[in-house]
Amino acid sequence: MSYRERPDFDRPTAESIERSRRSMGWVIPLVVVQQGFTIFRHGADLASQLLGIFAWATVSLTILWMLFGLPLRWLPKRDQAILNDEWHKSVSGDAGRWGIAALTVIGCAMMIARIWVPIDAGLAIYGLVNGALIVAVGRYTWLNRGEPDEGE
């Protein structure tokens, strides 16, 4: 019987992070939506706001990491190279373009909607930022979906 050494067992690898990126993609937009309400809720106390901001920052950084493949300094060079390879850069770039497009469309839609409905500034920021993030992360996850079989 053989056991993996503990340092190897604990250390994330390019493959495990890729799996996480795939499985987390669908969850993150939901977390953003959930946490957004805490930040912009009227009458929220300081503790709730701080908690919300912490959650928001964590989720936002995770999304940035997913989209831009920020270098993970504690990983070996090999894993960093795999996580930031050409496919991932291409997918991130495409997702980023979709995010910018969503930002433009949502912003324009809000400007038009203002004619009929008064829009709160906080809600507008929330809708604009999260709309773009959700589209970008959704696109990223869609392009990066499923680990292909060897023969595929």
Partner 1 sequence: MNERLANRLKERRGELGLTQSQLAEMCLVSRKTINTVENGIFVPSTVLALKLAQALDLSVEQLFWIER
> Token pair for residue 141?
């996850």
Q: Distance (Å, rounded) from C-alpha 126 to C-alpha 37?
A: 9
Which of 14, 137 has the CB closer to partner 1? Answer: 14
- Using CB under 8 A, which of 37, 41, 87, 111 touches partner 1? 87
Count of Cβ atoms closer than 10 Å to residue 135 Cβ: 20
Which of 39, 67 has the CB closer to partner 1? Answer: 67
Count of Cβ atoms closer than 10 Å to residue 139 Cβ: 22
- Using CB under 8 A, which of 23, 58, 90, 104 touches partner 1? 90
92 binds partner 1 (CB under 8 A): no
CB of 150 to partner 1, least distance (A): 5
CB of 87 to partner 1, least distance (A): 4
Interface residues for partner 1 in 52-81 (CB under 8 A)? 78, 81
Q: Distance (Å, rounded) from C-alpha 9 to C-alpha 114?
A: 54
Q: At what angle do helices 121-143 and 28-40 cross, to 10 degrees?
A: 170
The answer to whether 92 touches 86, Cβ cutoff 8 Å, is no
Q: In the complex, which residues of this chain contact partner 1 (CB under 8 A)?
A: 14, 18, 78, 81-83, 85-88, 90, 144, 147-148, 150, 152
